[in-house]
Structures are given as structure tokens and as C-alpha cells.
């Protein structure tokens, strides 16, 4: 069964290659969704897939992600768009 999570990254997360790194890692793990910069300086990620790869993805962000992530706000979404790929949106 697939899950969908919204992640909000705060800290020094824009201008450090975050969106491209997130997209590449998500694609490597077979995850779908989107990543985008927000006007408040945060990065928003919607990620869909199996829970184990999503947990691997989040651990990657915490341990190896670019920039300095001070906090990841994680929320499971009950109903969400079905994504067919992982894209950077603007």
C-alpha cells in the first residue's frame, strides 16, 4: 500500500541544490511527488510511495541533504493527488 506525506523543510534549504537533490533521491527510491521552494524560505515536498522507501528518503534528508535542515514537519495526507513521477514545480 502506498502512503503520501507532505514534508516542510526549514533552515538553510533554498539556494543549496535541495530541489534537485530531493528529485534525484526520490527517483532512485522509486518515489513519486513534487518538490518546490516556498516564498517563506521553506521547501515543500509531497512524496508518495511505500513506507520503507519514504522512511529511507526522510533519513537521507536528515543525514545527507544539502544545506542545513533545522526541522522537517511531516504530515501524512489521507487524500492526495496521484503522482506518476517526481517533479520540481515552481
Q: Which residues are designated catalytic?
A: 19, 37
Contacts of 2 (CB under 8 A, 6+ apart): 48, 49, 50
Q: Which of 66, 54, 39, 51 is nearest to 7 (CA)?
A: 54
Count CB neighbours of 57 within 10 A.
23
Amino acid at each position: 500500500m502506498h502512503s503520501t506525506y507532505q514534508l516542510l523543510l526549514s533552515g538553510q534549504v533554498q539556494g543549496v541544490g535541495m530541489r534537485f537533490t530531493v528529485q534525484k533521491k526520490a527517483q532512485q527510491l522509486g518515489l513519486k511527488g513534487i518538490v518546490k521552494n516556498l516564498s517563506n524560505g521553506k521547501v515543500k515536498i509531497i512524496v508518495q510511495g511505500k513506507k520503507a522507501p519514504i522512511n529511507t528518503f526522510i533519513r537521507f534528508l536528515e543525514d545527507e541533504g544539502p544545506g542545513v535542515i533545522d526541522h522537517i514537519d511531516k504530515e501524512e495526507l489521507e487524500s492526495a493527488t496521484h503522482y506518476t513521477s517526481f517533479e520540481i514545480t515552481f
